[in-house]
Amino acid sequence: MASEPSKELIALDDPYPDRDYEVRCTTPELTCVCPVTGQPDYATVEIAYVPDRRIVELKSLKLYLWSYRDEPVHHEAITNRILDDLVTAVAPKQATVETRWLVRGGITTTVTARHPAEASLG
C-alpha cells in the first residue's frame, strides 16, 4: 500500500459480524486549509462506529485523513465529508465523527456529525 495521501478508504471484512461492538479511532493530526484566509487549520478527529459487515483498514484511514492537508475546506464540511465517506466505505450500523479544532480568532470549534442522524455514540 502506498504512503501518499489518498481519498480511498479500504474496507475489510468484519471479524465479528454477529456482534455489535464499537470501533473508536482518534488522531490529533487532521489538518486542512481555511478557505477564507488560506491559513492552516489543525484538529483532533475522533471516529466512532458500530460495524455491520465491514471495518475500515487503519492505514487507509490515516492516508485518507492526510489527503485533506492542503485542501481548502470549512470545519463543518470536512467533518460531514469524513462521515459520508466512512458510511459509503463500510456501511456501519452507527457512526459519529467529531472534529475538535484548535483555537482560531479566540474561538474553539467542535463539529459532530452522526449516522443515522439521530444516533449517538459515546
13 catalytic, yes or no?
Answer: no
Q: What's the sign of the alpha-carbon dihedral 9, 12, 14, 15?
A: negative
Q: Are 48 and 96 in contact (CB under 8 A)?
A: yes
Q: Which of 18, 25, 32, 34 is catalytic?
A: 34
Q: Which of 14, 18, 20, 41 is catalytic?
A: 41
CB atoms inside a 10 Å sphere around CB 122: 8
34 catalytic, yes or no?
Answer: yes
Which residues, including other chains, have CB under 8 Å from residue 29's CB and lie 6 or more apart?
Answer: 65, 66
Strand partners, 94: 50
- Give catalytic residue positions: 34, 41
